[in-house]
Amino acid sequence: MASEKGKVLLAYSGGLDTSCILAWLIDEGYDVIAFMADVGQEEDFEAARTKALKCGAKDFILSDMKREFVEELIFPAVQANAIYEDVYLLGTSLARPVIARGMIEAAAATGCQYVSHGCTGKGNDQVRFELAFYGLKPDIKVIAPWRNPEFYNRFAGRSALLQYAESKGIAVTQTKAKPWSTDENLFHISYEAGILEDPNTTPPDDMWKLTKSPAAAPDTPEKISIEFQRGIPVKVKVGSTGKEHTDAVDIFLTLNALARANGIGRVDIVENRFIGVKSRGCYESPGATILRAAHIDLEGLTLDREVRRTRDQIITTKFSEFLYYGFFFSPECDFVRGCIPASQKTVNGEVRLSLYKGNVTIEGRVSDEKLYDEKFTSMDDLEGFPAEAATGFIAVQAIRLKQSSRRGAVDRKTVYGL
Amino acid sequence: MASEKGKVLLAYSGGLDTSCILAWLIDEGYDVIAFMADVGQEEDFEAARTKALKCGAKDFILSDMKREFVEELIFPAVQANAIYEDVYLLGTSLARPVIARGMIEAAAATGCQYVSHGCTGKGNDQVRFELAFYGLKPDIKVIAPWRNPEFYNRFAGRSALLQYAESKGIAVTQTKAKPWSTDENLFHISYEAGILEDPNTTPPDDMWKLTKSPAAAPDTPEKISIEFQRGIPVKVKVGSTGKEHTDAVDIFLTLNALARANGIGRVDIVENRFIGVKSRGCYESPGATILRAAHIDLEGLTLDREVRRTRDQIITTKFSEFLYYGFFFSPECDFVRGCIPASQKTVNGEVRLSLYKGNVTIEGRVSDEKLYDEKFTSMDDLEGFPAEAATGFIAVQAIRLKQSSRRGAVDRKTVYGL
Amino acid sequence: MASEKGKVLLAYSGGLDTSCILAWLIDEGYDVIAFMADVGQEEDFEAARTKALKCGAKDFILSDMKREFVEELIFPAVQANAIYEDVYLLGTSLARPVIARGMIEAAAATGCQYVSHGCTGKGNDQVRFELAFYGLKPDIKVIAPWRNPEFYNRFAGRSALLQYAESKGIAVTQTKAKPWSTDENLFHISYEAGILEDPNTTPPDDMWKLTKSPAAAPDTPEKISIEFQRGIPVKVKVGSTGKEHTDAVDIFLTLNALARANGIGRVDIVENRFIGVKSRGCYESPGATILRAAHIDLEGLTLDREVRRTRDQIITTKFSEFLYYGFFFSPECDFVRGCIPASQKTVNGEVRLSLYKGNVTIEGRVSDEKLYDEKFTSMDDLEGFPAEAATGFIAVQAIRLKQSSRRGAVDRKTVYGL
Amino acid sequence: MASEKGKVLLAYSGGLDTSCILAWLIDEGYDVIAFMADVGQEEDFEAARTKALKCGAKDFILSDMKREFVEELIFPAVQANAIYEDVYLLGTSLARPVIARGMIEAAAATGCQYVSHGCTGKGNDQVRFELAFYGLKPDIKVIAPWRNPEFYNRFAGRSALLQYAESKGIAVTQTKAKPWSTDENLFHISYEAGILEDPNTTPPDDMWKLTKSPAAAPDTPEKISIEFQRGIPVKVKVGSTGKEHTDAVDIFLTLNALARANGIGRVDIVENRFIGVKSRGCYESPGATILRAAHIDLEGLTLDREVRRTRDQIITTKFSEFLYYGFFFSPECDFVRGCIPASQKTVNGEVRLSLYKGNVTIEGRVSDEKLYDEKFTSMDDLEGFPAEAATGFIAVQAIRLKQSSRRGAVDRKTVYGL
């Protein structure tokens, strides 16, 4: 018999929080379907299924979203050189739209009127999930227990959750909880909260899960090459194995493995959340760190200067912010994403890199695009360029500066002395 | 007896090119004063003096500009997070305004009507020098031999220069010329041209002059801390020595030494020159690489999000471009530079870093500014923040997205499939 | 005897809404002080005082803020060419910070723990007021009755308010309410809501209160001149009277009078509110329309091109948005406002204008700044400019375009056909 | 017999300058083909043909480019709200790419190795023409006599030209030359140089050619409506005639006629040329002025706020600058133009306007797009919007401001006092 209150699709992680939410939603009179997205995190999905069903879920849905995560989110972010506040490569932000879309589709398929999640009321993820839900299905109803006073007052503190879990027969992992929270997918893992909340605490060595430390990485560099077509990585050649990888997911996972082994991709940042507070996060984004370096390098060779300037100004900044703030399914993000491909027409070629103890070193790049012209650039070659043209160029550029200088020579001195 | 044609102040390097230019200018009927700026390059200045005077210079002026280079150019660039095309830290660009100002002052002091330089007609430096000259003294006359057909046709190719040097009794270093050009100052060294013109040529190991390779760097990390006041580094503490450095030049040179020892600061880029051609450059910017990482990190802790966004959009991008293109002494750069200090009021605090085999790792940061509030940010702490507020926040943010989604739900799906 | 609940400073308008709020706050157990800002609106302040006190206010404070409104808000907006969505001159947005500051000061002076206002829950003004309150005094408490379900459910609909007013002995103006709302200050009057909510309804002729219609305006143009120093209007000369006005408030009111008489300053716009809904507004901003035209014109003569570009990109857009969204007292607005003066150093001179039936026509401009050079610009004068320089300038600008065209000449044709 | 030097396609105007250039090019040993683009200027094309042939042209080519001018240049500019320095609607800039393309095509069809024009060495048009030539055909050779010392020294001053014309039997119009230069096409007419070079000279009434003065315009308003699809005007209904116009060229010419009759579209500006000098220009852009007002208004109703912000920031500003500077056929302009259509998907609907003595007044607008929702916006309607949501929205927006204010309350006061 269907519940009166209706059906909820819950973003289920298998952890204590969402297991308690699952049970609580049932207490509240809802039918609950547990949903889990496989976005490449290391997880025992079968154990999660068993647990969810034991908690009372009517069903458990596991959706493999790795391919669309790579192809529809990660690769456009590579094309756009997306980055947040100069440091963060947006791993969590990129996964949210894929997961939210999977949930909306699963909710439609299973007749759920509600979706629910276990995000806290101070973070970015609640916003990212919910704005994605509303952008995809404006009339969806969202249940956010950690913003519901009934829930958060009842479960203030971990012990209340543990007690409730026990009362519901929910198995609690006996392993001691780490003194931080993590979120993992195939792009990255994030660490925050707990002991990391003091921005002056150095993350302990054993926190880092994905990558070797630079010190523990091999003493021999790994040499690879990455080929891009229209800004999308289409082939990776690995020196040590002699293998070529051409499938999108395979490319990304291969780069991940290489970067993890060579200590690449750790960052530690105090960032600005959308809700206006600062937050300290540590991230490992191994393969993405290589891809970003290679893509930027190839753009140097193949992208027109002013196309790059224009793209940087609008696409890179805006797309990164839209992702971080949760506006992927918005008219403005549709617009900006629609402009990406036109910016990447010439970004074709191959970049050679060396990976060594945390360093990603560009060793060379080639392209059939003809935007770089050795002879033309050569300082030694006087042919092909009228040196006098530069005289005229400078003379014209100087017109405005001379005018301004004549007007206020004194000012210039004063300003300089600042 | 003064020359009829007048006096020229020549930017003299001591090398073959400018020595020949010196002699040629005298041939052309000018009195020449050789000018050299000490911006921290490793150079035998006395040998240069001797050589210049032997070439026929009426005088040799050596001007120590290290302090103003650090304080007036480098530190504002640190405050602004200046960078060109995501990679290049602008070492050459930053030195040019200082040198140009030194030249204009020396020209005034010595009664020179002309200034001259040995820059080629395809590069950025001719523009940077000359726009700086005109911005400081609109009526200055510039002689650029490499853009003068009489000169460049006569001296096309190195052998013509060597022959001319011999005829003038100009000593030529017997050491074989490196197959690339360099420009050095205390901020960095650049390598370009020659074998580097093929963007797929990996720079040979022995090219890199300033830094150890990461592989050759010590196996033990160096721990340091940098204190900033209003975005300016004011103190560096070095773990291995226990010393503190507080003088601006000392701070910069100390960071240079540490970075050089630990393999930090090499980059390799194909960049877009102002005149519209692409060019491959390799750079070592050791201390600057550390400073940039530390400053960006501290801004994360201490700078308001929207001040940062606004600053990034206008100051970082524009100031970097003005520097690279040579518009330091322009009304627009005066304006933008004038906006930097207001953006840095809260950038006060200390960053702890670890330097290891090419890696600059942030280990922690502290500040008395109160923009980061641990309790407020904490995911575990429900006090101090009304979780329901986030519900309202999201609801309002969703209004526009729902409206747009209702209007064109089909569009959203289509766009997603791209 | 002081109320238990504490004291509230209420932004009082004298109208039905805020009179009922006043009485309701007293019902709720607060002591209430009515506050009114004189920002130049046409209002019977004495009648308002009497009414407030009769409603039960413990006190009535009238604060004359006209001068600071003009000098601290309006003039910087003129300097910045502030405008919202190409049309709206921000009259209401500009008044809010002044009023909010007046309230915070009055609250401090009278020991009020609370401030309150009568803004609705869908508009911009609630945000503008409250963000200003919090920006000035972070611990102030705000009472917003129209967002309080107890209040808005009780008083849903005008008749409930009227009934309550009657029960409290609050006099209600017998004049029939206009079918729209207005907000007036010395900068402008706004009209919205009511019959204007249909964006296809033409505003009735008798709605416009401040300005004559162009058709009813005089048949003879009024000639005036406006002198600016550093972008600030410092003198207005009026042709028809021969008078000169030099006081800031007098200047603004004089321009208002002239513009009102000559049918200048009406606009009708569908704009985007901060909370994400669209809204239709009609505005009369008479003097401001003249000032904006004159200031932009003088910048053409006196402002360096690139300073203007940089300023436009960051100050104009951002400052306008900060004003509209209510972020005047924010770190980002402090930063941006701090950059305005440096952009206006050269904006000195005089603009002559003709005002006629809705038209503001520039008739000429002069300045002692030397950024415009007649001889240099003259097409007929070949001296002073090396025509060959332009050849070099174009040749260098073309390098990139030729390179790109060679690479993809076919693309160019295709794109053109779009 | 073909000339040794080869064939030149000359942009011919029929005036004294280009007639003399025609004859001079023949003197110099070239075969010359005269080319004239019909971009809607009022011109006796047959007289021009006769004159060109009489001057010695081997052929005269007249190319009707009105349709592509309207459809491929003007309408995208309307979609982008293109404007230069807040005032100039870019009429000359918009025509240049069309004319240049016509020339490159005609040069190819007639086997010309050269193209030539009569632009001066200080203006924008030389740059616009030549960059367009090079962007379309990188190896085209350009002859610019007014930058050739042989030419400009010989013909310094009008009398030298007149004398040469007489010697060549070139008829010179007896009408006294106007004391300014003009450039006309169907979008606008420009006036510059001559007496206008003094920026304080009021243009004489009889200068304005296209539009009636507001004073001379009819006393009765003309009522029209304009329908847009995806930002493109597709139908104009004229109140006084009852007629509907749906063809692109007809739409534009109809609006021109209405605007001219009603005194609409005059501006007077000191603008910044690309080469770095300021220049005073007067323009009449009648129909374009109406279209811009209508398009901006409809965007208010139909365009999402953030799409608009993003579009304004990048497309409007950049596209306008590319047009003005002459970079229409550049990779960056290709990129930006490619982004326009995606920004206009929802810009569908009808705008009603009143035209009266220089004023363009919006009277209303309708659209089937559902981005404006009367009920939702209504201040009176409390349903459909949770007023409490605004409380949460404001609370979250205030977090950052409170934090900042707590940190530096004193600063806030200080800044305010500026």
CATH code of the domain in which B102 resides? 3.40.50.620
Look at residue B138 and tell me if it is in a domain. Answer: yes
Q: Hey, of A153, A155, A359, which one would you mutate to test binding to chain B, going by the most B CBs within 10 A of its CB?
A: A359
- Closest-CA distance, A397 to chain D, in angstroms, reads 7
* Per-residue model confidence as pLDDT tens digits over B2-40: 678 999 999 999 999 999 999 999 999 999 999 999 999
Share of chain B above pLDDT 90, in %: 86
State how far the alpha carbon of D381 is from the alpha carbons of C15, C156, C197, D377, in Å: 20, 9, 12, 8
Burial (CB < 10 A; 0-12, 13-18, 19+), residue A132, is buried
Asked whether residue D327 is assigned to any structural domain, the reply reads no
**Known catalytic residue: C354?**
no
For chain B, the domain total comes to 3
C86 falls within a domain: no
The minimum CA-CA distance between D345 and chain A, rounded to whole Å, is: 10
Position B378 pLDDT exceeds 80: no
CB B319 within 8 A of CB B80: yes
Annotated catalytic residues of A are 17, 96, 125, 181
Q: Nearest chain C Cα to A406, which residue?
A: C370
| Domain annotation covers residue C14 | yes
**Least CA distance to A393: which residue of chain C?**
C393
* Residue D50 in contact with partner chain A when CB distance is under 8 A: no
pLDDT for the residue C176: 73
Among the candidates C177, C194, C222, a domain finishes at: C177
The CA distance from A183 to the nearest CA of chain C, in Å, is 31
Between chains, do B314 and C309 touch, taking CB under 8 Å as contact?
Answer: no
The stretch B319-333 carries a mean pLDDT of 97
Question: pLDDT tens digits, residue range D375-402?
Answer: 766 655 555 567 889 999 999 999 899 8
C339–B318 C-beta distance less than 8 A: no
pLDDT at residue B287 is higher than 60:
yes
* Dihedral angle computed from the Cα positions of residues D203, D205, D206 and D211, in that order, rounded to the nearest 10 degrees: 100
Residues C297 and C392 in one domain: no
Q: Which of A168-182, A307-321, C17-31, C134-148 has the lowest mean pLDDT?
A: A168-182
Which of C344, C371, C374, C415 to mutate against chain A (most A CBs within 10 Å)?
C371
Question: Each residue of D144-184: pLDDT tens digit?
Answer: 999 999 999 999 888 899 999 999 999 887 667 789 999 99
Closest Cβ–Cβ partner in D121, D329, D401 for C387: D121
Answer whether C310 sits within 8 Å of B331, measured CB to CB.
Answer: no
Q: Does A379 or A133 have the greater pLDDT score? A: A133
Using DSSP's 3-state secondary structure scheme, residue A238 falls into strand
Q: Is residue C274 part of a domain?
A: yes
Contacts of A339 in chain D (CB under 8 A): 335, 338-339, 342
C343 contacts B310? CB cut-off 8 A: no
- d(CA B193, CA B182) in angstroms, rounded, equals 9
User: Do residues B103 and B169 both lie within one domain?
Assistant: yes
**Average pLDDT value over all residues in chain B:** 93
User: A313 contacts in D (CB within 8 Å)?
Assistant: 313-314
Q: How many CB atoms lie within 10 A of CB A31?
A: 23
Q: Do C171 and C212 have their domain in common?
A: no
Report whether D357 contacts D262 (CB < 8 A).
Answer: yes
Q: Give the mean model confidence (pLDDT) for residues B339-365.
A: 97
C332 has a chain B CB within 8 A of its CB: yes
Run of H or E including D183: strand D181-184
> In terms of domains, do D379 and D280 share one?
no
Q: State the pLDDT at residue B105.
A: 97
pLDDT at D417: 43
Would an 8 Å CB–CB cutoff place B272 in contact with chain A?
yes
pTM over 0.90: yes
Query: Which of C314, C317, C393, C399 to mutate to probe the B interface, most B CBs <10 Å?
Result: C314
D271 and D407 assigned to the same domain: no
| CA pair distance A114, B270, nearest whole angstrom | 52
Run of H or E including A283: strand A278-284
- For residue A162, how many other CB atoms are within 10 A of its CB? 15
- CATH code for the domain in which residue A288 is found: 3.90.1260.10
Is A325 part of a structural domain of the chain? no
**Is residue A411 less than 8 Å (CB to CB) from chain C?**
yes
Nearest CA in chain A to B334: A415
- Same domain (yes/no): A169, A243: no
Of the pLDDT bands very low, low, confident and very high (cuts 50, 70, 90), residue D404 is: confident
Is B17 labeled as catalytic in the residue annotation? yes
> Considering only CA atoms, which of D254, D276, D256, D275 is closest in space to residue D265?
D256
| C370, C393, C404 member nearest A392 (Cβ) | C393
Cβ atoms A322, A328 nearer than 8 A: yes
- Based on the fold, state whether residues B11 and B160 are members of the same structural domain: yes
The secondary structure of D235-293 as a DSSP string is EEEETTT--EE-SHHHHHHHHHHHHHHTT--EEEEEEE-TTS-EEEEEEE-HHHHHHHH
Confirm whether D81 is domain-assigned.
no
Per-residue model confidence (pLDDT) at position A416: 46
Of the candidates A86, C69, C194, C357, the one whose C-alpha atom is nearest the C-alpha of residue B296 is A86
Of C136, C152, C341, the CB nearest to D412: C136
**Shared domain check, C392 and C353:** no
**Residue D416: pLDDT band with limits 50, 70, 90:** very low
Q: How far is C257 from chain A (nearest CA, A)?
A: 37
Tell me: do A380 and A356 sit in the same domain: no
Phi first, then psi: give them for residue A23, nearest 5 degrees.
Answer: -65, -40
Do C266 and C406 share a domain, yes or no? Answer: no
pLDDT at residue A407 in the model: 78
Question: Is B38 assigned a catalytic role?
Answer: no
Planar angle of CA A270, A273, A275, nearest 5 degrees: 145
CB of C359 less than 8 A from some CB of D: yes
Residues A48-73 have pLDDT tens digits of 999 999 999 999 999 999 999 999 99
Nearest of A231, A389, A354, A238 to residue A300 by alpha carbon: A231
Nearest CA to A200 out of B354, B363, B229 is that of B363
User: Chain C, 376-405: which have a CB under 8 Å from a chain A CB?
Assistant: 376, 386, 388-393, 395-397, 399-400, 403-404
Q: What percent of chain A has pLDDT over 90?
A: 86
List the chains bordering chain A where 3 or more Cβ pairs fall under 8 Å: B, C, D
* Residues listed for chain B: 418
Nearest to B12 by CA among B88, B94, B119: B119
Kindly state whether residues A12 and A61 are assigned to the same domain: yes
Taking the C-alpha atoms of residue D158 and residue D152, their distance in angstroms, rounded to an integer, is 11
* Cβ-proximal residues to D238 (8 Å cutoff; 6+ apart), any chain: D222, D224, D244, D245, D254, D258
C398 has a pLDDT exceeding 60: yes
Q: How far apart are CA B62 and CA B38, in angstroms?
A: 7
Q: Which of residues 121-160 of B touch A (CB under 8 A)?
A: 121-123, 126-127, 130-131, 134-138, 144, 146-149, 152, 156
Mean pLDDT over residues A207-214, rounded? 98
Q: In angstroms, rounded to a whole number, what is the distance separating the alpha carbons of residues A113 and B296?
A: 45
**Among A349-363, B218-232, C11-25, C148-162, whose mean pLDDT is lowest?**
C148-162
A102 has a pLDDT exceeding 80: yes
Please state, as a whole number, how many other Cβ atoms lie within 10 Å of the Cβ of residue C236.
24
Same domain, D284 and D151: no
Residue D403's pLDDT band (boundaries 50, 70, 90)?
Answer: confident
Task: Give the pLDDT of residue A71.
Answer: 97
Neighbours of chain D (3+ CB pairs under 8 A): A, B, C
Tokens of D140: 């085209």
A370–C407 C-beta distance less than 8 A: yes
Domain extent at residue B398: 383-417
D393–B388 CB contact, under 8 Å: no
Residue A314 lies in a domain: no
Chain C hits for A370, CB-CB cut-off 8 Å, are 403, 406-407
Q: What ipTM does the predicted assembly reach?
A: 0.95
Q: Which of chain B's residues have a Cβ under 8 Å away from the Cβ of A378? A: 122, 193, 197
Contacts of D392 in chain C (CB under 8 A): none
Beta strand pairing status for C278-284 and C266-272?
antiparallel
* Amino acid in the structure at residue C318: K
